[in-house]
Amino acid sequence: MTEADARADLLIAGGGIGGLAAALALTRQGVPVHLLEQAQAFTEVGAGIQLGPNVVRVLQGWGLQPALQAVAAWPQQLQARSALTGEVLACLPLGAEIAQRYGAPYATVHRADLHSLLLSAVKSQGLASLQLQSVVQSFEQEPMGVRVSCVDARSAAQSLSAQALIGADGLWSRVRSLLLKDAPPRATGHLAYRVLVPQKILPHALRCQDVRVWMGERMHGVQYPVCGGEWLNLVVLTETQAPAHAQGWDLPRSPDEVALDLRSAMRGTCSPLQDLVRYMEGWRVWPLCERGIVQGAHQMAQGRVALLGDAAHPMLPYLAQGAGMAIEDAQVLASAWSERSWTVPQRLQHYAQQRWQRNARVQQRAQRNGHIFHETGLMRIGRDLALRTMGARLMDIPWLYGAQLSAGKP
């Protein structure tokens, strides 16, 4: 069998934001894909997500601006505030100013809205088959294809083959563990307490249409509007002594325990932030895990199997770019796939070469932000001073927001 004889489609493991973005980018190039998702339904958790101009630009390129316009909020500024005093330390203009600089605005969106707009776009392309309740268990690379085994809800085994497998199966990726044989993710000891409420239930003084980052000591908070500005998303990130390993959302904590945790983490913070936290109900707790920084292209693709999104490069959420990098991965993967004269392994290798350094840089910057946001004592004072003095220059990230993605040549 020659390369051209092999089946033309790809298998994607995982239907989160990364898997759906890959399905969309590929089907837009006319490539049929088959997506396997373990859950009973395509869903996303109830929380917000920030999309930098680099990500909005990709979504716009996929024709999603009208769909995004209907659900996103478009904050006009990103404020860095002291969680201790409430002072605005620095401010990065977003809105038209950032759109002019980077070709697209900064958006904030409910995860479920982003997920469902990607899902409808994938469906309307008509080239993707989507299979729920299918857990990818293993794969075998063959000379002209890849064979994937999965099980369905009734534990029935299924074997599928395709030209390539894309592991977009998230932080605890099965595809990654088989491909790279590395250790599972490590718990960091950081916990994300997340909550979403309609803005109208908040007193006027607590409503907000900007992105605000409240930097304290060993904690920080981030708030921003979603759902066209009608809801407010708040996340409070804290450090604990005993790292928790739970997979996914919802570390079991009762509302009383959450209130106690937050009270203790927020000791010494200013009253506007404490008032906001007190008003919010329905907190969910996510223990944050990480893996090492990506070290090379071999960690993103080998042969006919590639990793994408959190499966490839999970990162702390302190740069708000994890899903953004998954979306960029999808765009570059699809561009590489359109090079029909290349073999499948060459396309995947090229994708990995194009992506690994940028993903590693974003992972590093997210880690560094974590330290900066949680500084204590003199370092905290220095941080606040630097923000007061340098302002927007410290907050703007041209290499991140302005990068042009291209598949280039092999």
Q: Tell me the catalytic residues.
A: 224
C-alpha 182/C-alpha 166 separation (Å) is: 18
Chain residues 39-58 in contact with ligand FAD, contact rule CB under 6 A: 39, 49-50
Residue 331 contacts ligand FAD per CB under 6 A: no
Chain residues 229-258 in contact with ligand FAD, contact rule CB under 6 A: 235
Residue 323 contacts ligand FAD per CB under 6 A: yes
Q: What is the DSSP annotation of 345-390?
A: HHHHHHHHHHHHHHHHHHHHHHHHHHHHHT--HHHHHHHHHHHHHH
Residue 265 contacts ligand FAD per CB under 6 A: no
Residue 170 contacts ligand FAD per CB under 6 A: yes
Q: Which stretch binds ligand FAD (CB under 6 A): 163-171, 208-216, 291-299, 368-376?
A: 163-171
Do residues 31 and 8 touch, judged by C-beta distance below 8 A? yes
Query: How many contiguous H segments (helices) and E segments (strands) does the chain have?
Result: 13, 18
C-alpha 364/C-alpha 369 separation (Å) is: 9
Nearer to ligand FAD, 235 or 384 (CB): 235
C-alpha 198/C-alpha 133 separation (Å) is: 32
Residue 286 contacts ligand FAD per CB under 6 A: yes
Nearer to ligand FAD, 91 or 311 (CB): 311
Interface residue with ligand FAD among 80, 83, 106, 169 (CB under 6 A) is 169
Residue 324 contacts ligand FAD per CB under 6 A: yes
Chain residues 114-153 in contact with ligand FAD, contact rule CB under 6 A: 135-136
Listed residue (195, 202, 249) closest to 221, CA to CA: 195
Least CB distance to ligand FAD at residue 389 (A): 27
Other CB atoms within 10 Å distance of the CB of residue 329: 31
Residue 174 contacts ligand FAD per CB under 6 A: yes
CA atoms within 13 A on the CB side of 144: 8
Residue 168 contacts ligand FAD per CB under 6 A: yes
Q: Provide the β-strand partners of residue 226.
A: 231
**Number of residues engaging ligand FAD in binding (CB under 6 A):** 34
